[in-house]
Amino acid sequence: MIVEIGHFALVLALGVAIVQGVVPLMASSVNNRRWMGIAGPASIAQFLLLCVSFAALTHAYVTSDFSVLNVANNSHTDKPMLYKVSGVWGNHEGSMLLWVLILATFGCAVEVFGRNLPTGLKSRTLAVQSLITVGFLMFILFTSNPFERLINVPINGNSLNPLLQDPGLAFHPPFLYLGYVGFSIAYSFAMAALIEGRVDASWARWVRPWTLAAWVFLTIGIGLGSWWAYYELGWGGWWFWDPVENASFMPWLAGTALLHSAIVVEKRGALKNWTIFLAIIAFGLSLMGTFLVRSGVLTSVHAFATDPERGIFILILLCIAIGGSFALYALRGPSLSGGGLFKPISREGSLLFNNWILTTATGVVLLGTLYPLFIDAIDAGKVSVGAPFYNRVFIPIMTPLVILMALGPLMSWKRTDAKAVLSRLYLVYGATLVAVVLTYILKGDDGWGGYFGMGLATWLATGVLWDLAERIKLGRTSFGDSMKRLIRQPRATWGMTIAHFGLAITIAGMTGAGNWKVENIQVMQFGEQLDVAGYTYTFESVRDVRGPNYDALEGTFTVHKGDKYITTLKSENRHYDTGGMPTTEAAIYTMFLGDLYAVVGDKSGDGYVTRLYWNPLVAWLWGGTLLLALGGVVSLTDRRHRIGAPKRAQKAAATEGAKA
């Protein structure tokens, strides 16, 4: 019964979404305020209905109701409760339901937090948002219904993928989706602005926090996914440039560009139609990511062969959503130009340059991801594009961006004297030089990647700190006064400082993990010792252990540095009762300068295959990513976001309009 209620709520939500998508748009074209107002209550109703629907599916998972096909296929009686719940979105149908639920949540949030938005802009935004929901609800109801019943009820369920039973993987899809779907708000605002034909500072002020929130979620989601790959796949890698990862990375790059260009619209009224364009592609790439992952166009998925309808449905959705918005952009975009003028060397100029680079980088990832598809489509064979391509292309593209990141915040709006900026930075040059030389001395001739990366990280980190020092006039006024200024810095400045500094840390982590990793793969017998990067591993024992629903082979190492005991590492090789691929739980001991990482594999002769790694600076990678997200959160709490779009901004926009 509860399952049917969930199904029914889903159908009702579709009805509400259609009303919310159509009526306000029609009403706002004839400026009927009453009917425009329907968007608000409808968005709340839609949200509540989808909550009911999602709760019903969750209930079916929690109670292991195997009369539901989706539950029978993706859950198992023996699963721990946590994974029964995460199983709800661990499959195609359920994850799509989560998608629309988040979509509706964001719509509802616009209604709740957007009380002081202009009625026209709000109702149009909610209508566009709802039209996206309509598309996805139809997709769910017609091709991927999670509430489908099964006539012959199995006893235990048939969960086949034990890899999904992991906290890292259980929680990274919701974050990714919050990020993907969060960009839908920026997109809906952009569409509403195109329909209205008006983009001003208050518009940008409204779009930015939503984009920022989505970006924070996406950053955390990507970080979690990468962390999961690191400890679960057992190869010590943290980024593989596979299509699924790229699908989340492209919206991230585009979203990062959008965050920065929205600042220019807000402060200076320039780059309007460029910002609109970025809002379209950020969400467009999220949609495309869904398409690539779900349709099986790129990866061979068994389910696809049985169900090409899904792929075609998403393709049509994509055509309407992105094609439609690009068409609208082509027609209306030209009328949105204008705004503050600026010289190439200025704050605006550096932000525009940032945008070009990020967009180019997005294009490169897009090309790399789709290249195999292009080749296959013209029947030239099947190829795959791997890490070497990305490393070779990506690093040269991103390097100027990182160099500029340290300089941009030091520049003033409109125009800047480049020489004056550059001549102030002697401390930054010095620190960078020291880092390069120090890395060279410590690591020797290990390829240029090492000291180049460390130099870049130091350049950015010290550049960020220098900028902060200038802002608080450190050394140019009394220390007490500087501290007062430090406290009074707006949260947005703090956010930027933390996030940019976080990226510097991440770059250092990538450099370390990418260049100085040590890996040893060998057969070891009990008691045997091996030296990896200065740490002595002793292979102690192997024993069988029993988990809640799996058997595992547990390998134990003790690690010493010289005579000093460091830690005991226990890795697991799990075989789940339900069958499927065995999974690896690597044993990891994290230290400031690197991770000790050990995996015990299969038996070979009278020993075991062991893989021992030294992964330098990996913790910096995750730490830096966290700082990036934290920076976003801090910036989100900035005063000007909390008080919404103030009258002042509208006045400013008006005076600007008067000037022009």
List residues near other proteins by CB under 8 A: 69, 72-73, 150-152, 154, 158, 273, 277, 280-281, 284, 291, 295-308, 311-312, 315, 318-319, 322-323, 326-327, 329-331, 333-334, 370, 373-374, 376-377, 382, 579
What does 119-164 look like in DSSP terms, one character per residue?
HHHHHHHHHHHHHHHHHHHHHHHHH--TT-B-SS--SS-----GGG
User: Which residue number, 232 or 376, has a Cβ lying nearer to other proteins?
Assistant: 376
Q: Is 633 exposed, middle or buried (0-12, 13-18, 19+ CB in 10 A)?
A: middle
Nearest approach in angstroms of CB 310 to other proteins is 10
User: Which residue number, 330 or 660, has a Cβ lying nearer to other proteins?
Assistant: 330
Query: Are the CB atoms for 134 and 14 separated by under 8 Å?
Result: yes
Nearest approach in angstroms of CB 624 to other proteins is 33
User: Which residue number, 240 or 304, has a Cβ lying nearer to other proteins?
Assistant: 304
Residues 6+ apart with CB under 8 A from 193: 121, 199, 203, 276, 336
User: Which residue number, 1 or 155, has a Cβ lying nearer to other proteins?
Assistant: 155
Nearest approach in angstroms of CB 280 to other proteins is 8
User: Which residue number, 184 or 273, has a Cβ lying nearer to other proteins?
Assistant: 273
Q: Cα separation of 294 and 180, whole Å?
A: 14
What does 497-566 look like in DSSP terms, one character per residue?
HHHHHHHHHHHHHHHHHHHS-EEEEEEE-TT-EEEETTEEEEEEEEEEEE-SSEEEEEEEEEEEETTEEE
User: Which residue number, 203 or 291, has a Cβ lying nearer to other proteins?
Assistant: 291
Q: Cα separation of 242 and 233, whole Å?
A: 14
Rounded to the nearest 10 degrees, the angle between the axes of helix 167-196 and helix 324-332 is: 40
User: Which residue number, 76 or 122, has a Cβ lying nearer to other proteins?
Assistant: 76
Nearest approach in angstroms of CB 372 to other proteins is 9
Nearest approach in angstroms of CB 332 to other proteins is 9
User: Which residue number, 181 or 321, has a Cβ lying nearer to other proteins?
Assistant: 321
User: Which residue number, 243 or 453, has a Cβ lying nearer to other proteins?
Assistant: 243
312: left (phi over 0), alpha (psi -120 to 50) or beta: alpha
Query: Are the CB atoms for 411 and 421 separated by under 8 Å?
Result: yes
Query: Are the CB atoms for 533 and 591 separated by under 8 Å?
Result: no
Nearest approach in angstroms of CB 216 to other proteins is 27
Nearest approach in angstroms of CB 288 to other proteins is 8
The distance of Cα 467 from the centroid of its chain, to the nearest Å, equals 27
Phi/psi for 378 (5° steps) reads -95, 20
Instruction: Name the one residue in this structure whose structure tokens are 């200065």.
Output: 534
User: Which residue number, 168 or 372, has a Cβ lying nearer to other proteins?
Assistant: 372
Nearest approach in angstroms of CB 363 to other proteins is 10
User: Which residue number, 323 or 447, has a Cβ lying nearer to other proteins?
Assistant: 323
Q: Cα separation of 174 and 366, whole Å?
A: 23
Q: Cα separation of 328 and 183, whole Å?
A: 18
Nearest approach in angstroms of CB 202 to other proteins is 24
User: Which residue number, 196 or 519, has a Cβ lying nearer to other proteins?
Assistant: 196
What does 221-279 look like in DSSP terms, one character per residue?
HHHHHHHHHHHHSSS--S----HHHHHHHHHHHHHHHHHHHHHHHHHHS-SHHHHHHHH
Nearest approach in angstroms of CB 95 to other proteins is 19
Nearest approach in angstroms of CB 469 to other proteins is 42
Distances (CA, A) of 65 to 58, 60, 142: 10, 5, 22
SS3 label, residue 601: strand
Phi/psi for 582 (5° steps) reads -70, 150
Amino acid at 310: R
Residues 6+ apart with CB under 8 A from 629: 216, 219, 220, 223, 502
Beta bridge partners of 597: 588, 613
Residues 6+ apart with CB under 8 A from 459: 402, 403, 406, 428, 431, 432
Nearest approach in angstroms of CB 283 to other proteins is 13
User: Which residue number, 300 or 423, has a Cβ lying nearer to other proteins?
Assistant: 300
Nearest approach in angstroms of CB 172 to other proteins is 25
